[in-house]
Each structure stands twice: as C-alpha cells, then as structure tokens.
Structure 1
Amino acid sequence: MKPFIPAEELKKNYGVFGHFYSVELASKEIVECRSVLELVSKPRIPKDHSELSLLSPDAVFVMMNPGSSRPLEVVNNRICAKDIHKLTISLVPTKPDTTQYQVMRLMHFREWRHVRVLNLSDVRSSKSPEFIKLFQRLEKDEALDSHSIFSDARTVELAIKLPKKRTTPLVLAWGMSEKLNPLIERCLGRLPPKSRIKGLLEQGTANKYRHPLPSLQKDQRVWLENMVRHFEE
C-alpha cells in the first residue's frame, strides 16, 4: 500500500496556479470560471507564473469542472460570453482543493514535476448537481458552449494546452454522471488521434473514467493505488 501523503506535506512541495475569469451573459448574469490549472513542483516554478502555460507538462488531466478551487489574489478578468476565446492566459496562485491533492499524490509516485488540469467545463461550482444544472442552462437558454475549452470557438487555445508529444499521458478522470455525456462526447471528439489515453475506465462503460476523489478516503486510496499500477502496466 502506497503511503497517503497528507495535504500539509504536499503543499510544501507543489505550487498551484490557475487562470480565473468571469463571464458576463447577455442577461448581465456573471458566471465564475477557471480555464486551466498548473500543478508544479516548487523548484520548477518560474518567476512569471504565466510562463507555465508555455511549458510541456509531464501529464494533462481532464476532469469535470473546477470545483471549489479559487484564486489567492484578486482577479479582474471579466469578459463577454462571445469573447471567451480571446482571453489571454494570466496565471495566479491558487488555493488547492482536495481533488488536486490527489493529483499531487500521483505526481509524487510518478516523479512528475508538472501536471496541467483541463476540465469539460470552465464553470466553477463545488457541487456537481448545481454545476450540471448550470451548464445545461447555459447551453440551452444562452446558446453558450464556449464555457468548454473543447468547443469549436476555442480550438486554438485547446491545441496550445493539450500535450505536444504523443508520449505525454492524457489522463481522463471526469466521473460517472450520464448527464455529462454531451460534454464528454465533445471532448473526445477534440482529442488528437493516437493520444496516450490513461485513466480508470469504469467497467461496462465506454467513456466514464473514475474521478480522483470518491467520497470515502479508503476509495481515494484505491484510486491512487490503481492509477499507480495503471501506469506500470
């Protein structure tokens, strides 16, 4: 059994940086978003954090949505929905959430120094049912699909953030919800052919990959053990 490294120890070894922005809808409603997250071993953090977006990570994760992750600095990136694809990346220090600690644990055992996290949707919401209702409303009522980096409008941005080398693993870990299917299908349609896809595919499904943070800690340990083993196969 691999040791389950506590969060306090992980925070000493890794820095977390994200790009946060706010989308103003036609109705004037504001939706809080995050487009990318960079987890980096502290010796590798550049003085200009935004340089991380230009580096080639050791792995790229794709998960559901940004959850409860939040910036540690004031961010004033408000943009109209139709202009999301024009955003310039500006990374700021970020308070990690429990999911990101799981990724750090895998980084430790794989000896990765840099992992990039993308999501099926940029919409920040810590509760999955609320997130699902919100993204469904955005797509139906607002005709807005660019909350997802896998939308047609953000093709150029996606190409920059995906692995540059076919040997770089693309770890899928968005969970089991059937309600995510429209976002999952959009994502899978955008991944480059012959990508090195990794992840714990749920038995009996074609596209449901286990999330790093099941509710019970014993199951979190199982996810970590299985992922370490998965990379050794």
Structure 2
Amino acid sequence: MFQSGKELENLFYTEAAFYKLQTYEKIQICRSLVAISRVGAESEGVDALFVLLNPGKCLPLAGEDSIPLLSGEVAELPLMPATPDNTLYQLMRLMERMNWNSVQVINLTDLRTGKFDEYKESQRFMKQYGDSRHTIFSMDRYVELLDCVEQADTVIAGWGTEASIIPAAENAYTILMELEDIKGLSYKTHPLYYHPFPWLQNKCIKWLDDMEAQLKRTAEVV
C-alpha cells in the first residue's frame, strides 16, 4: 500500500524548527529538526531518528515570513506546524508499517536547497566563510546532536549516494557510531545510504519493503 499525502496528513502531523542564517551578507533558510507525530497518540519517546542530507520543501504553515533570524542557539528554536514534503510522507509510510507514533529528522546540513547543485554551492560558500553553524555535526552543536540520538530508539541513515557528500557523510557516520548503531540501506560505497524517497514509486516501495524487513529482522534478534 502506498498512501497519498492527503491520507497521511489525516494520520500524522508535522512540526519543525526553522531559522534564517546570515553568513557575511547572505541570508539562507534553514531547518534544524522535524518531528512527525501520530494524531491522537500519546508521546512515549521517539521511535526513530532519521539522518538525511538536507531539508527539502517543508516550510512553516505560517509561511517564510514567520521564520526568525538566528540570534542564539539552534537547539533553543521552537517547533512550529509545518507542511510535509515527499520525503516526510515517505517516512510516514514507514511509520505506518512499523506502527510508530513519533519520529524525528535531522540533516547533515540545515541549509534548505532545492537542487543538488545548490546544495554543493551552499556548502562551498559556508566553508569559504568558515561558518559551521548550519550543521548539527559541528563541534559546537554536539550536545544538541547527543540529545536527539539519546531520545531515539533507533538511528536510521538515509543521506543519499552522491560521491561528493562522502566527507560530510564520513564525519556524521564517525560521530554517530560512537553514540549508537546505525541502521539504513547501505550503498556500495561506504558510508553512503539510500535516500528514503528515490522519486519513482516502485523504488519508494522497495525502500519501504527493505527498510521494514531490516528493522523487523533486527527486532527479532534483540
């Protein structure tokens, strides 16, 4: 079964923490955390923490004008109602299969970019100006990352298979493995993992099938 976005929005609601980050004279929209919760379910912890590459099209329901310019710690930003995107819908489908009530999402970078070329350019720009505030995997945000990992029962990587992200993926993998075992569908090149939403519906279903099987197999061993 491959539920539509409308069906999924009747089952789950989405909140996220957004901020605008000014680096030199450039202001960029960022998203640090997403929380997806089942409607009507009581919170009993976080079933899974997904670690993806970068935020997609998800924005606050109140619009871009509601996003504040960062002036303090990223970890202190409030969650606000948000519109899910295709990737978040895909995570909801897995939640249905696993009977999960709550998951969270973080990314290798908080910078919200639409295309991969924009992602690469944004990373180059931030590196040029020595600004690492956009990544939860920076040393200054380690406590924030630790809190996210410790809340979750499972950590699942899905940051994609592009060779150019390997340095960022290796950094994240090294840090995460010191804290928790990582699950996810491994790509042939380490430490890359297939993204949850590969666009084509048959591939999306395959990711769901394979991820569900891995999680349930792990649960049986435990």
Give the drift of 1:184: 1.0
1:189 and 2:177 correspond: no
Residue correspondences, number: 215
Q: In the alignment, which residue of structure 2 is the partner of 1:71?
A: 60
Q: One-letter code of the match for 1:17?
A: E
Give the drift of 1:163: 2.9
SS of 1:132's equivalent? helix
1:208 and 2:192 correspond: yes
Maintained 8 Å contact 2:54/2:109? yes
RMSD: 1.8
Of 8, 11, 14, the match for 1:10? 8
Maintained 8 Å contact 2:32/2:74? no
Pair 163,91 (structure 1): closer, same or farther in 2 beyond 3 Å: same
Deviations 1:31-65, CA, capped at 9 Å, x for gaps: 1100000000011378xxxxxxxx73010000000
Give the drift of 1:153: 1.0
Residue ranges of structure 2 left out of the alignment (5+ in a row):
218-222
Maintained 8 Å contact 1:20/1:33? yes
**CA–CA separation in structure 2 for the residues paired with 1:118 and 1:15:** 17
Maintained 8 Å contact 1:60/1:163? no
Of 14, 27, 34, the match for 1:30? 27
**CA–CA separation in structure 1 for the residues paired with 2:166 and 2:104:** 23
Maintained 8 Å contact 2:166/2:192? no
Maintained 8 Å contact 1:59/1:163? no
1:62 and 2:51 correspond: yes
Stretches (4+) displaced over 4 A = none
Task: Write out aligned runs for 1:80-119 (5 A).
Answer: 85=73, 87-119=75-107
Of 129, 136, 146, the match for 1:149? 136
Give the drift of 1:5: 1.4
Pair 25,66 (structure 1): closer, same or farther in 2 beyond 3 Å: same
Q: In the alignment, which residue of structure 2 is the partner of 1:136?
A: 124
Residue ranges of structure 1 left out of the alignment (5+ in a row):
47-54
Q: In the alignment, which residue of structure 2 is the partner of 1:50?
A: none
Q: One-letter code of the match for 1:57?
A: V
Deviations 1:118-146, CA, capped at 9 Å, x for gaps: 0000000121221122112211x111122
Pair 158,4 (structure 1): closer, same or farther in 2 beyond 3 Å: same
1:158 and 2:155 correspond: no
Give the drift of 1:221: 1.0
Give the drift of 1:6: 1.6
Q: One-letter code of the match for 2:142?
A: T
Maintained 8 Å contact 1:170/1:195? yes
**CA–CA separation in structure 1 for the residues paired with 2:98 and 2:74:** 35
Q: In the alignment, which residue of structure 2 is the partner of 1:20?
A: 18
Deviations 1:73-115, CA, capped at 9 Å, x for gaps: 24242026xx5x4551201011100011110000001010000
Give the drift of 1:192: 4.9
Give the drift of 1:195: 1.5
Give the drift of 1:194: 6.0
SS of 2:13's equivalent? strand
Of 207, 212, 222, the match for 1:228? 212
